[in-house]
Structure formats: C-alpha cells, structure tokens
Amino acid sequence: MPTPAAQLDRLSVTHRPAEAAIGYHRWSNLLFVHWRLSARCVQPLLPPELTLDTWEDDAWIGLVPFYMSGVRPWWSPPVPGISNFCETNVRTYVYDREGRPGVWFFSLEAAQTLAVRIARWKWSLPYYRASMSLERTGAEIRYSSRRRWPGSAGPGCRIEATIGEPWLTPGDTSDASASATTATARPGTLEHFLIERYLLFAQPRPEKLLMGRVHHTPYPLRHVQINHLEDSLLAAAGLAPRCEFCHAAFSDGVVVEVFPLRPVQGSAHQ
C-alpha cells in the first residue's frame, strides 16, 4: 500500500544531498500557475510505480514558465549562446513507493536546441524545442511559447502578469516590508506543497524509472496577478481542466545545483 499523501516527509528532500553536484543553473522570473483536476483523471497518466500526490484529494497541474541561465556541467563554465534560454513545463506532483515526493513532467519546452537534445537523451525527459520569449519591464512580465518539434508543432502559451508584493502567509509575524528573499513558503501550506519540490522522476522505458535531485535555497515568493492567459500545452499533454486556474505565484529566482539520475528501487529493471 502506498504511503498516504498526508504522511509524507516533505522536508528531508529539501536538504542538500551528500554528494558532488554534476551541474549548475540559475532559474529566474518563475511563474507558477496551477489548476485542480480530479485525481481519478490524472493517476492513469502516470507510471504504475508512482502515486499521485494530492492536496485536498485533488491533483494539481502546474504550468511554469521561467528563464534558465548559467546552465553548465560542473567541469565547464557557461557557454554564450547555449547556457541561457527560456523554458516552460507542465507538471504534476507524485511520490514513489518509498514515499519520496517529487515532480512528474508531462512536457518541458525549451528555446535551445542542444539543451532539448541532451535532456531527451541523457535525462529521458519529454523536452520539446519551442520558440519562446520572456519580457519583464518593472512589475509587468510577459511569456510566450510555441512548440516546434518533435511531434506536432503548435501547442504553446501566452501569459501577461503583474508581479506583486512578497508572499506572506496569513498570520506570518514577518515584517510586511521584508525583502522578497525572506518571503518563502511555510511547510504545511499549499504554496510549499506546489512549489518546494526537489525531486523529479523520469521513465526512459516502461520497465525503468529514474529519480533526479536538485538543491537550492527556498524560493522567494511574490504575489502575482494574471492579466491574460492562453494555453494549449495542458491539452497537448492530455489534460483537460474544467475551470480556470486557481492559484498563481511568482519567484525572482534561485541558484540550483543538479545531481545525477538514479534508478528507483522497485522498478522492474534497475
């Protein structure tokens, strides 16, 4: 029997692994937009080794556009023209048979051909090459993405938003004028459940499941107002929300360490 979602250890995975990182990134201008879906509709889309991680018994689907910079392996400096690009992912939240909570990606769009090829080959992740842009002027930010390959071209998104004040949980005793770096998600809140994720799962073939880890400081969070949203990436992933998004948050960004993929114990062939 899988561990009930309410009993999962959500803090251990936030600690830095006791091994050397294999790569480094910076993620910035992250927008987290989420929809609620019936868990019964989403669980069949996952590998059998993974259980849907729910909040109030529902599945949560995230659309997350952001900017990646300084992308590099541990042995190389960033490379101009290769190490900086936009990305957008569609994801949900899962845990494995050991009760480790993480992310399952339905798709990841990137505006860098080499990054897409390496991620599909080396990380077994469903990356797609897309034409993308991110423009930020003061508190106003705009994202756009349109898939090019592989598969059918066309799915994408366009979002316009206004970035607000640091995210302070109701009842938080922090100074409301605190900088964004102090406004992080408190464990036990919906924001912590949706945003503070440090494991990913990938499946190169049906009988093999892999797990990768990242580490960074907690996301500094801000409120955000979505002024316009068009999306066809969820539909392309086989997801069909019956209503509009129900949660959104913004982060200026974090510096990220990346660790190796490991076979998940209990998959048919490790």
77 contact partners, CB below 8 Å, separation of at least 6: none
Residues 260, 31 contacting (CB under 8 angstroms)? no
207 occurs within a structural domain: yes
Which structural domain, as residue segments, surrounds residue 210? 21-263
Specify the CATH number for the domain of residue 44.
2.40.400.10
Assigned token pair, 72: 């590099």
Domain count within the chain? 1
131 occurs within a structural domain: yes
15 occurs within a structural domain: no
8 occurs within a structural domain: no
Question: What is the chain's pLDDT, residue by residue, as a tens digit (270 residues)?
Answer: 567 777 899 999 999 999 999 999 999 999 999 999 999 999 999 999 999 999 999 999 999 999 999 999 999 999 988 999 999 999 999 999 999 999 999 999 999 999 999 999 999 999 999 999 999 999 999 999 999 999 999 999 999 999 999 998 655 554 444 443 469 999 999 999 999 999 999 999 988 999 999 999 999 999 999 999 999 999 999 999 988 999 999 999 999 999 999 999 765 544
Q: Find the Cα–Cα–Cα–Cα dihedral 5, 238, 160, 147, rounded to 10°.
A: 130
41 occurs within a structural domain: yes
10 occurs within a structural domain: no
- Is 173 strand, coil or helix? coil
213 occurs within a structural domain: yes
241 occurs within a structural domain: yes
